[in-house]
Amino acid sequence: MPIKKICCIGAGYVGGPTCSVIALKCPNIMVTVVDKSKERIAQWNSDKLPIYEPGLDDVVKKCKGVNLFFSVDIEKGIREADLIFISVNTPTKTFGNGKGRAADLKYVEGAARMIADIADEDKIVVEKSTVPVRAAESIMNILRANHKPGVSYQILSNPEFLSEGTAIDNLLNADRVLIGGEDTKEGLAAVEELCWVYEHWIPRKNILTTNTWSSELSKLAANAFLAQRISSINSLSAVCEATGADVSEVARAVGRDSRIGPKFLQASVGFGGSCFQKDILNLVYICECLNLPEVAAYWQQVIDINEYQKSRFSAKVIGSLFNTVTDKKIALLGFAFKKDTGDTRESPAIHVAKTLLDEGAKLHIYDPKVESAQIIEDLTYAIDDYHVKKSVSLYNDAYSATAGTHAIVVCTEWDEFITLDYKNIYNAMMKPAYVFDGRNILDHDKLMKIGFEVHSIGKQMQRCGVKRTWGSMNQM
């Protein structure tokens, strides 16, 4: 029986865009996205969606009310669906066993228990959330232990690989769709049903089918490999700064090797986002539980280098400003964890802001898409209400944010920061005026000609036309 109705539990960064694209490409399927958050569902049903994602508004506009619905009626959504995506959050545990490392599966378990309570017909349950290997087994145990008479379940793993900021393109033109299932007649039939949904727009050769555990582990592995590349290039950025090599040139040279490839070699203030850190910590925890300490230590290092890079960058800002930023005004350009999203989860900007505030700086913050309330919430959580009220001002544009400041710190690679009128900005700043480019996106030569003292990642800069010395390397 082809799938006629889909329900997705979780209307977040994954559930919302993924189901919008499914609705767009499968007009013959009724898609309902449900969430326990009334506020989030109200936003999906309004003109201002709860997340900023290029292209998402258009897709939602085309489908909403036709074959795409957002609802808090979870019971109805589950009861009517043939196939249910579980797309709830799986944050790092904050207490108890595995605190700070293991994935907290309470929301996944909650969703599974709701399905078991409500469903009175057979369902295909699809794990879309990122989970530890063998999580599907737990879902299966809950469903099969609580099933109503005559109701049977198939559990599939179908991890999501979209990146925020490019989610719609990633979903429309996915490199691959991964579906894991049980190697039984019923399991294979369920895999085929989900393949059929994706085949509405994804070529069959790009739909990979595997066993359930391979699918679950592949998701953690993909994020670990991507983050590892960033930590690798970031570790080399420190070597570049100490030697006179330029990390962009190194990345270009290394990335031209077709075996390595050029993507994900952009040195930065460090990676952020809701998933890289949480998923690698989860992988580390799994390895430790499997008594594989060497493997755990290997992946832990990807996180450690990221912490090192964020601290190294913040220390560079303070060190360059004569080792004190107390009462200095510093403009933070960008607060999102990457461009083209309003998401600030694990944003490196939070780390930088906290360090500068701890040192007594006054921050002027501007981000094109992050809501003011979100910035205040993140900083209040990281520091405290008193510090934030006393020392943080929010601005609606880069010019007013930078006026009268001692330094600009670029934390997010928003395109609009590249084309600002830096001559005007320089004129309105305190002197000497500093730029710390945490994303290596600005034209450093041009900035130095204007008069800025420029610091970037993985590159020694010239001050007033004079190349800085190599420090320790010259003495070797």
Nearer residue to ligand UGA within complex by CB, 277 or 402: 277
Minimal distance, residue 264 CB to ligand UGA, in Å: 4
CA terminus-to-terminus distance, the chain: 73
Q: Report, in Å, the least distance between residue 141 CB and ligand UGA.
A: 25
Out of 20, 90, 248, 412, the only residue in the binding site for ligand NAD (CB under 6 A) is 90
Among ligand NAD, ligand UGA, none, the one that 271 touches (CB under a kind-dependent 5 to 8 A) is ligand UGA
How far from 159 is each of 213, 310, 329, CA to CA, in Å? 11, 29, 44
Distance CA(173)–CA(441), nearest Å, equals 27
User: From the list 62, 109, 138, 161, which residue makes contact with ligand UGA (rule: CB under 6 A)?
Assistant: 161
**By C-beta, is 30 or 111 nearer to ligand NAD?**
111
Q: Which of residues 370-409 bind ligand NAD (CB under 6 A)?
A: none
User: How many amino acids of this chain bind ligand NAD (CB under 6 A)?
Assistant: 26
Q: Which residues, 6 or more positions from 16, have their beta carbon under 8 angstroms from its beta carbon?
A: 33, 44, 49, 50, 51, 56
DSSP at 64: B
Pick from 110, 187, 255, 451: which binds ligand NAD (CB under 6 A)? 110
Strand bridging mode 434-437 / 407-410: parallel
Binding status of residue 272 toward ligand UGA by CB under 6 A? yes
d(CA 154, CA 190): 7
The CA distance from 386 to 380, in Å, is 8
In the list ligand UGA, ligand NAD, none, the entry touching 89 (Cβ below 5 to 8 angstroms by class) is ligand NAD
- Give dist(CA 187, CA 24) in Å, integer: 27
What distance in Å separates the CA atoms of residue 41 and residue 44, rounded to the nearest whole number?
5
**Separation of alpha carbons 402 and 397, rounded Å:** 9
Residue 11 interacts with which of ligand NAD, ligand UGA, none, CB < 5 to 8 Å by class: ligand NAD
Contact characters 22-61, ligand NAD, x per CB under 6 A: -------------xxx--x---------------------
Q: Tell me the closest approach of the beta carbon of residue 215 to ligand UGA, in angstroms.
A: 14
12 binds, among ligand UGA, ligand NAD, none (CB under 5 to 8 A by kind): ligand NAD
Point out which span in 156-164, 190-198, 371-379, 437-445 binds ligand NAD (CB under 6 A): 156-164
Name beta bridge partners: 406.
none
Nearer to ligand UGA, 277 or 391 (CB): 277
276: nearest Cα among 214, 347, 351, 173: 347
Residue nearest to ligand NAD (CB): 12
Please name the helix (run of DSSP H) or strand (run of DSSP E) that holds residue 34, with its range, or none.
strand 30-34
Query: For ligand NAD, what does the binding mask look like between residues 4 and 23, x meaning CB under 6 A?
Result: -----xxxxxxx--------
275 is catalytic: yes
**Residue 347 contacts ligand NAD per CB under 6 A:** no
Q: Is residue 277 at the binding interface for ligand UGA, with CB under 6 A as the rule?
A: no
The binder of ligand UGA chosen from 328, 338, 354, 455 (CB under 6 A) = 338
103 versus 296: smaller Cβ distance to ligand NAD: 103
Q: Residues 253, 315, 311, 377: is their CA dihedral positive or negative?
A: negative
Q: Is 273 in the site for ligand UGA (CB under 6 A)?
A: yes
With respect to ligand UGA, which residue has the nearer C-beta, 20 or 274?
274
Could you tell me which of 42, 89, 169 has the C-alpha nearest to residue 345?
A: 89
The single residue of 8, 275, 287, 411 carrying the catalytic annotation is 275
Q: What is the largest CA-CA distance in the chain?
A: 80
The C-alpha atoms of residue 348 and residue 329 are separated, in whole angstroms, by 19
Is the Cβ of residue 164 or residue 437 nearer to ligand NAD in the bound state?
164
CA distance 123 to 169: 29
Determine if residue 165 is left, alpha or beta; phi over 0 gives left, psi from -120 to 50 gives alpha, anything else beta.
Answer: left
Determine if 337 is a binding residue for ligand UGA (CB under 6 A).
yes
Selected range binding ligand UGA among 56-64, 68-76, 237-245, 274-282, rule: CB under 6 A: 274-282
**How distant, in Å, are the alpha carbons of 363, 375, 378, 384, 465 from that of 358?**
11, 16, 15, 10, 33
Q: Which residues bind ligand NAD (CB under 6 A)?
A: 9-15, 35-37, 40, 74, 87-90, 107, 110-111, 129-130, 160, 162, 164, 274-275
- Active site positions, annotated: 275
